[in-house]
Every structure is written in C-alpha cells, then in structure tokens.
Amino acid sequence: MTDTASTAPPPAIVLVRPQLGENIGKAARAMLNFGLTDLRLVSPRDGWPNPAAGPAASGADLVLERARVFETVADAVADCAHVYATTVRKRGVTKPVVTPEEAARAMRAEPGRSAWLFGPERSGLETDDVALARTILTVPINPEFGSLNLAQAVILCAYEWSKSQELTQPPQVELDPPAPQAELEGMIAQLEGMLEASGYFFPPDRVPATKRTLRTLLTKPGWSSQEVRTFRGVLSALGGAKKPKP
C-alpha cells in the first residue's frame, strides 16, 4: 500500500434532495459507524436542521451538527477532485462504472478529496446530477430486487472505505486456553459414572456407541479449564454433592 492511500482525506457524503429527516439521521449514523463525518445536504426537501434527524441518528449528533447545506450539487462538490454518483442505472451517461470496493481503492490511492452522491429516496439521482460525477458507482445486488434504502447505500460505501483505515476495533476478550486432556477425561468419567448409576446406559449392546457419542459431544467445543470446573460443579450438584442454599 502506498503512502497516498493512508493520507487520502475521508470522502464527503452528499445527499441530494433528501426527503425525510429520519433518513438523513440514519445516513449520519451509518457514516459515523465507519468514521465519516463530512455530511453535505443539497436542497433537503423539509429544510435543515430537521428535528426528525436527531432520534434516527442514534447518537451520531456530531455528523448532524457538522452537516452543511448547499443549493446545488455543483456547489456541494466544488472542492472534490473525485465525484462518484451512486445509481443502479447509467441513465444514458457514458462514464466508468465501479463497485464500492473499487471506488474506495481508487479514492485511497489518489490525492484530493472525494465525494459520493446519493439521490432522493424515491427517485434517485437525476441525469444532470450524474453528469456532474466523473464515475458511476453501482452496487452489485440481486437484479430481481435492486431496492436499497438511503442508509443501506451509505453504509455499503462507508464500510468499503473503512476496510483499510485504522479504526479502533472493539477490545478483544482474551480467551482461556483449552483444558488439558486429563481434565476432560475427568469430566467425562464423572458424567459416565453418574449416568451408569441412574441406569441411563441401556440396552447393554448400545453402551459403547452411546459413550462414543457423549465423548464426541464433550470434546468438540474446546473446553477451557474454567468451563470444565463449572460443568463438573453442575454434575456434582445434580448428583447431590451440593445442596442449594435455603
């Protein structure tokens, strides 16, 4: 990976004539999930700010607070060197067509700010909107059902951008090491002893096969020592070694 890939500025998300405040909020939420905060609105139908956007953003208030409103698409992308129009149809415009992954790769490798254009919920981008873009971005989805809502389209693109970025990952919980075989054998022997005492193994000719099935079941998960101790405590309690407190 080149140095320009890691220093490319995050893309702007441009919502062209969005209709519902809830959808703007959901798009903002999708953006912030993947570290994007540059939201640009072109002539939102119900004006801006929109009180319906906040609850739908589910905490992505930073994106909404920084959102900028423009009268035209040209104004919204004036500072962008790479503009991608998201659409399922070329609409008679001859331009390169890429997937979100291909677009993200190109954006990371080239200097200058990029922008994704997303059209109104009901109709999508108009031909004049697409004409302003240098590239068409199309999501490869089911041709029999090509319906994506606005937030879904945003999150697909934002995810592809984030894949090579150094976003903070959720802390990983360190797993306990697998239990030694001797501990597993002790647990299995304890269970078999209890089952024999209860008359579980019947008829006699099925005992070996039943024991093999139990052993397979109990050795599949990769038990940790703590899990073995817990399970054996359960067996002991069921066997009467421990009584519940009153």
Q: What is the CATH number of the domain that holds 32?
A: 3.40.1280.10
pLDDT at position 90 is 55
192 in the same domain as 154: no
Residues 98-141 have pLDDT tens digits of: 999 999 988 888 888 999 999 998 888 988 899 889 899 988 88
Spell out a b/e string for 200-214, using b for 16 or more CB atoms within 10 Å of the CB, else e.
Answer: eeeeeeeeeeebeeb
Residue with the larger pLDDT of the pair 69 and 87: 69
pLDDT beyond 90 at 64: yes
Model confidence at 5, pLDDT cuts 50, 70, 90, reads: very low
158 in the same domain as 47: yes
> Average pLDDT for residues 86-92, to the nearest whole number?
67
Residue 219, in any domain of the structure: yes
- Neighbouring residues of 62: CB distance < 8 A, sequence distance ≥ 6: 32, 37
Model confidence at 93, pLDDT cuts 50, 70, 90, reads: low
Give the three-class secondary structure for 178.
strand
The parent domain of residue 234 ranges over 181-238
pLDDT beyond 60 at 244: no
Is residue 17 within 8 Å of 119, Cβ to Cβ?
yes
> Average pLDDT for residues 40-62, to the nearest whole number?
95
Model confidence at 68, pLDDT cuts 50, 70, 90, reads: very high
Strands 97-98 and 135-137, sheet pairing: parallel
pLDDT at position 228 is 82
pLDDT beyond 80 at 237: no
Confidence (pTM) = 0.67
148 in the same domain as 40: yes
pLDDT beyond 90 at 19: yes
112 in the same domain as 211: no
- The mean pLDDT value of the chain amounts to 84
Give the three-class secondary structure for 117.
strand
Distance CA 213, CA 171 (A): 37
pLDDT beyond 60 at 170: no
203 in the same domain as 158: no
123 in the same domain as 20: yes
Distance CA 91, CA 87 (A): 9
